[in-house]
């Protein structure tokens, strides 16, 4: 395990073992809480990526031929081992991402929901059967794995997203190549160790570390059948366009500008408490984080902003080793600088500063990438901080007069990942859930992220492709359907040629 004082040279996980990189190019892995380098991760060459793909391709036929029950048994053992070694993984997540221990544990727990669904692969892979569809012919369908599939995961969920976009792929019989974010490669390599220990055949699980050159090889290599991606919208757009061009099945999840509408009848204390965790948890580095609160009516806005200002002032930021902190640092110094830039420009555009987190006290004595919680009032559509996803603790208040106005604002935005409303009015909630054009919707739920057995995915430019990250769509995405029509002739039966198009008249 990587510690705060050790700078370890990492490798790739290919054919059941960790192998050193050959490119001579590395990327530094930081401990964001300390601002220090803890590891160096190799950036793969094109030849290394091709070798990993060929290795997976050779391993695939035997894994496909293994019974689905045996595959599910291996996935179950993986789940059990992951649970047993959860404390180790929590420490690893916290060290390389800066998350609190509570948040890291929550991430793993949500990731296990995807593993749980994958354990049910024997049930989910069942096909259909029809007897005597015509002419004593029986018809049936089977779901078969695609082959070698690739998954590209982001830094903000080093474990949950990889588990969500690979567990079912493995269970239904594919060989999987994971390209984790080069900022958090240690967690992915830890998962590799677990897969190896539970007996997953060599070559079925691969971790290849790299940058955009690695990604482009995965997108264009003809042996990759499908791509799952989670990240920013511009990159998701590129992944979808390029992968589709090369004939691959692609699901690419992008960013979100997730809104919380607060109605005049809502309990403002409850709404404020919900907003704090949903907006600032994990230093706001979640694609489902609430970025904008939209109070309906001037009185609602004034009261809510006053309550939020008081509560935000009490939030504590710091390293994960302090059990009392609410959230930790952002992932890099570059991220911190970019977030401060968003705040500065929003003030130039006319926003009002309610809480200023640009220069937290901890930053005076720490080299960690810390930002405190910032809240901006009087933000309006058209401002950069409203239109773009800000992956850090700078949150907005947009004031509206009516629910209709709030719905219209949200529907007009190009992103449609998640949204929620806080209200005690059933009619308002029904109008909201009916008319809102967003993929994941909550009513009095701060973060409307579905559980692992429901589909996860936004609308508009928050998701490209037809697949989803969680849920039953995973089975459909990682398999293809084969439909078989079958007839057996009785002994000494006779037949004649027919030139009519086949039908079920007989």
pLDDT tens digits, one per residue of 96-123: 999 999 999 999 999 999 999 999 999 9
**CA 501 to mean position of chain CA atoms:** 47
Looking at the structure, do residues 247 and 338 belong to the same domain, yes or no?
A: no
Q: What is the mean pLDDT of residues 138-145?
A: 93
Looking at the structure, do residues 437 and 320 belong to the same domain, yes or no?
A: yes
Q: How confident is the model at residue 498 (pLDDT cuts 50, 70, 90)?
A: confident
- In the residue annotation, 94 being an active-site residue is answered as no
Looking at the structure, do residues 344 and 434 belong to the same domain, yes or no?
A: yes
Domain boundary among 415, 443, 471: 443
Is residue 458 scored above 90 in pLDDT?
A: no
Looking at the structure, do residues 321 and 195 belong to the same domain, yes or no?
A: no
Q: How confident is the model at residue 489 (pLDDT cuts 50, 70, 90)?
A: confident
Instruction: Flag whether 453 is in a domain.
Output: no
Q: What is the mean pLDDT of residues 434-443?
A: 94
Instruction: Flag whether 227 is in a domain.
Output: yes
Instruction: Flag whether 495 is in a domain.
Output: no
Q: What is the mean pLDDT of residues 125-145?
A: 90
Give backbone dihedrals phi and psi of 46, rounded to 5 degrees, phi first: -60, -40
Output the six-digit token pair for 376: 């901006």
Count of other CB atoms within 10 angstroms of residue 325:
18
> Which residue spans within 266-367 are E strands per DSSP?
290-295, 352-355
Q: Which of the two residues, 189 and 461, has the higher pLDDT score?
A: 189
- What pLDDT is stored for residue 492 in this prediction? 75
Instruction: Flag whether 503 is in a domain.
Output: no
Which one is catalytic: 94, 186, 287, 355? 287
pTM of the model: 0.92
Is residue 434 scored above 90 in pLDDT?
A: yes
Rounded to whole angstroms, how far apart are CA atoms 251 and 471?
Answer: 13
**Residues written for the chain:** 506
Query: Which residues are bridge partners to 19 per DSSP?
Result: 12
Which of 14-28, 101-115, 182-196, 457-471 is least confident?
Answer: 457-471
Q: Determine contact, residues 451/113, Cβ cutoff 8 Å.
A: yes
User: Total domain count for the chain?
Assistant: 2
| CATH code, 275 | 3.40.309.10
Looking at the structure, do residues 472 and 405 belong to the same domain, yes or no?
A: no
Looking at the structure, do residues 411 and 438 belong to the same domain, yes or no?
A: yes
Q: pLDDT tens-digit profile of 159-210?
A: 999 999 999 999 999 999 999 999 999 999 999 999 999 999 999 999 999 9
Looking at the structure, do residues 299 and 231 belong to the same domain, yes or no?
A: no
Is residue 2 scored above 50 in pLDDT?
A: no
Q: Determine contact, residues 284/390, Cβ cutoff 8 Å.
A: yes
Looking at the structure, do residues 301 and 195 belong to the same domain, yes or no?
A: no
Cα–Cα distances (Å) from 268 to 263, 392, 432, in that order, read: 9, 24, 19
Rounded to whole angstroms, how far apart are CA atoms 421 and 429?
Answer: 7
Helices (DSSP H) in 26-65: which residue ranges?
A: 46-65
Rounded to whole angstroms, how far apart are CA atoms 381 and 409?
Answer: 8
- What pLDDT is stored for residue 162 in this prediction? 96
Looking at the structure, do residues 469 and 418 belong to the same domain, yes or no?
A: no
Is residue 4 scored above 80 in pLDDT?
A: no
Looking at the structure, do residues 229 and 277 belong to the same domain, yes or no?
A: no
- What pLDDT is stored for residue 5 in this prediction? 58
Mean pLDDT of the chain: 93
Instruction: Flag whether 449 is in a domain.
Output: no
Q: How confident is the model at residue 504 (pLDDT cuts 50, 70, 90)?
A: low
| CB environment 433-463: b (16+ within 10 A), e (fewer) | eeebebbbbbeebbbbbbebeeebbbebbbb
Q: Which range marks the domain in which residue 54 is found?
A: 8-254+462-483
Looking at the structure, do residues 417 and 297 belong to the same domain, yes or no?
A: yes
Q: Give DSSP secondary structure letters for 298-348.
A: HHHHHHHHHHHHHHHTT--B--TTSTT-SB---S-HHHHHHHHHHHHHHHH
Q: What is the mean pLDDT of residues 128-144?
A: 89
Q: What is the mean pLDDT of residues 242-255?
A: 95
SS (H, E, C) 160-192: HHHHHHHHHHHHCCCEEEEECCCCCHHHHHHHH
The percentage of the chain sitting over the pLDDT mark of 70, rounded to a whole number, equals 98
Q: What is the mean pLDDT of residues 399-406?
A: 97
Instruction: Flag whether 419 is in a domain.
Output: yes
For 131, the 3-state DSSP assignment is: strand
Q: What is the mean pLDDT of residues 147-161?
A: 96
Q: Determine contact, residues 230/287, Cβ cutoff 8 Å.
A: yes
Instruction: Flag whether 491 is in a domain.
Output: no
Instruction: Flag whether 316 is in a domain.
Output: yes
Output the six-digit token pair for 499: 């030139």
User: Which residues are CB-neighbours of 432 under 8 A, at least 6 positions away?
Assistant: 261, 403, 407, 421, 423, 441, 443
Rounded to whole angstroms, how far apart are CA atoms 177 and 162?
Answer: 11
Looking at the structure, do residues 273 and 355 belong to the same domain, yes or no?
A: yes
- What pLDDT is stored for residue 318 in this prediction? 96
Rounded to whole angstroms, how far apart are CA atoms 151 and 250?
Answer: 10
For 237, the 3-state DSSP assignment is: helix
The percentage of the chain sitting over the pLDDT mark of 90, rounded to a whole number, equals 84
Rounded to whole angstroms, how far apart are CA atoms 389 and 401?
Answer: 24
Q: What is the mean pLDDT of residues 65-85?
A: 97
- What pLDDT is stored for residue 505 in this prediction? 62
């Amino acid at each position: 395990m990587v510690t705060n004082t050790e700078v370890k040279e990492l490798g790739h996980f290919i054919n059941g073992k960790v192998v050193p990189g050959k490119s001579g190019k590395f990327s530094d892995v930081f401990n964001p809480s300390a601002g220090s380098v803890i590891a160096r991760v190799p950036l793969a060459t094109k030849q290394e990526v091709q070798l990993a793909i060929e290795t997976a391709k050779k391993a695939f036929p035997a894994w496909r031929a293994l019974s689905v029950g045996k595959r599910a048994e291996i996935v179950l053992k993986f789940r059990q081992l992951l649970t047993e070694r959860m404390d180790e993984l929590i420490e690893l997540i916290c060290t390389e991402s800066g998350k609190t221990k509570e948040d890291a544990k929550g991430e793993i727990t949500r990731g296990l929901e995807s593993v749980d669904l994958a354990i049910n692969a024997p049930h989910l892979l069942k096909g259909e059967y029809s007897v005597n569809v015509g002419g004593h012919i029986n018809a049936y369908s089977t779901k078969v794995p695609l082959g070698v599939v690739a998954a590209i995961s982001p830094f903000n969920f080093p474990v949950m997203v990889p588990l969500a976009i690979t567990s079912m792929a493995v269970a239904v019989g594919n060989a999987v190549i994971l390209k984790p974010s080069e900022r958090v490669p240690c967690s992915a390599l830890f998962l590799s160790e677990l897969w190896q220990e539970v007996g997953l055949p060599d070559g079925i699980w691969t971790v290849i570390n790299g940058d955009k050159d690695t990604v482009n090889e995965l997108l264009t290599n003809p042996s990759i059948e499908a791509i799952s991606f989670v990240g920013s919208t511009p990159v998701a757009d590129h992944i979808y366009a390029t992968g589709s061009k090369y004939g691959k099945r692609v699901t690419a999840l992008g960013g979100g500008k997730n809104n919380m509408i607060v109605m005049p009848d809502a309990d403002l204390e409850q709404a404020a408490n919900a907003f704090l965790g949903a907006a600032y948890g994990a230093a706001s580095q979640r694609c489902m984080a609430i970025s904008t609160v939209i109070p309906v009516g001037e009185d609602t806005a004034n009261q809510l902003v006053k309550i939020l200002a008081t509560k935000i002032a009490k939030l504590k930021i710091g390293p994960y080793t302090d059990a009392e902190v609410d959230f930790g640092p952002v992932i890099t110094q570059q991220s911190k600088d970019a977030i401060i830039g968003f705040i500065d420009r929003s003030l130039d555009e006319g926003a009002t500063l309610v809480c200023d987190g640009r220069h937290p006290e901890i930053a005076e004595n720490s080299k960690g990438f810390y930002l405190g919680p910032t809240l901006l009032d009087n933000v309006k559509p058209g401002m950069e901080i409203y239109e773009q996803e800000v992956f850090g603790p700078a949150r907005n208040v947009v004031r509206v007069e009516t629910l209709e106005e709030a719905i219209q604002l949200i529907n007009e935005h190009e992103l449609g990942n998640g949204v929620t409303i806080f209200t005690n009015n059933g009619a308002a909630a029904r109008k909201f859930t009916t008319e809102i054009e967003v993929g994941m919707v909550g009513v009095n739920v701060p973060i409307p992220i579905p559980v692992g057995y429901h589909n996860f995915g936004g609308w508009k430019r928050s998701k490209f492709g037809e697949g989803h990250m969680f849920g039953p769509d995973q089975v459909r995405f990682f398999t293809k359907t084969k439909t078989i029509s079958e007839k057996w002739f009785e002994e000494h039966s006779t037949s004649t040629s027919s030139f009519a198009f086949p039908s079920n008249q007989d």
